Amino acid sequence: MKLGNLNPSMGATKSTKRKGRGPGSGHGKTAGRGHKGSGQRSGHKSRPWFEGGQMPLSRRLPKRGFSNHLFKKEVQIVNLRDIENLNVDSVTAEILFKNGLVRSAFKPIKVLSNGNISKPLTITANAFSKGAKEKVEKAGGMVTVL
């Protein structure tokens, strides 16, 4: 057996539909495009979401809920257990960013009380949860709200 002798198995391939080749072919005259209208003309392209003048799906579906995207505040969250693993005395946005705990040093950061803290640290952030503030101060640290 050689590569040049290989053929697809029976029924695996079909011959192409020959449009516009006379009435006997079943696809003569209008070649499956119908009569008149933009879809019958050459160069016609329909947008993938176009439904032929029918009310589009996006407009048929009910609109629900409320989106507060104009006024929402994006806050980056850091847990105390992640801060505990850092080997520093004071924690700022730049240090959190360098250690990969936040995506941006310029967006607001909130510290949450998930985990424990054993050493006194000075933490600077935009917001603190009540529990996080208590845990840091209990360990002898200091909290600075920007």
Residue ranges per structural domain of the chain = 76-145
- Would you identify the CATH topology of the domain 76-145? Ribosomal Protein L15; Chain: K; domain 2 (3.100.10)
Give the other-Cβ count within 10 Å of 128's Cβ.
21
Strands (E), 21-146: 76-79, 90-91, 109-112, 122-125, 127-128, 142-145
Mean pLDDT of 57-75: 91
Dump pLDDT digits (tens) for 88-105: 888 999 999 999 999 999
State the pLDDT at residue 1: 81
What does the pLDDT read at residue 3? Answer: 93
pLDDT tens digits along 4-32: 999 999 999 999 999 999 999 999 999 98
| Residue 119 pLDDT grade (very low, low, confident, very high; cuts 50, 70, 90) | confident
